[in-house]
Amino acid sequence: MSQAPALALAIVISGRGSNMVAIAQACARGEIPARVARVIADRRDAGGIARAQALGLETCVVPARDFPDRGAFEAALRAAIDASGAQLVVLAGFMRILSPEFAQHYAGRMLNIHPALLPKYPGLHTHARALAAREPEHGASVHYVTGELDAGPVVLQARVPVLPDDTPDSLSARVQQQEHIIYPRAIGWIAAGRLRMGANGPEFDSRPLRQPLMEG
């Protein structure tokens, strides 16, 4: 019996691309039945582009500041994604808010990872906000992308304890360690056909996913 082709991924980044590297390495090791078709950055100085090239991945830069408005940028970004043949769009440290129209084009085919236990702390500065609120725990969430910021269905989360001497940087480092575990795992589930977006929301192993799965 022939093996199903690996799921093609377009990974979209803005920065150094640590989650991109974790996903690409999981693909290369054969841990998940997926392959990185293209890494796309919205900034020429995104450090993740050099890291992707060092891994032998195809890269593309679509500089947002070169376009007159969000619509023009998103049209170019969409063209770069679609030209790669990607079946799943993976936002990995992508720091721009996408329009509802863009999200709808990739409905059920676009994931994001957010450094908080959604629905808590959508948006920026999540670690500082969690510390200011004296949260006992913090974490990361993998979710499908919808037209509302960080509000799409969450499919997998990981928790970390908040320690008495934590700073935003130390908390961020521990959360990011978990991100590098759960993001490849969620992508692997999609590639294996275990996780999908159904008509009424996410389904895992052919059953409705009523609440996020939890790492550990």
Q: What positions carry a catalytic annotation?
A: 114
Strand residues in the chain grouped as ranges (E): 7-13, 34-41, 59-61, 88-91, 110-114, 137-144, 154-161, 195-198, 201-204, 207-208, 213-214
* CA pair distance 167, 68, nearest whole angstrom: 38
Provide the token pair at 46.
């995104």
User: Which tokens is 134 given?
Assistant: 């004296």
How far apart, in whole angstroms, are the C-alpha atoms of residue 112 and residue 183? Answer: 9
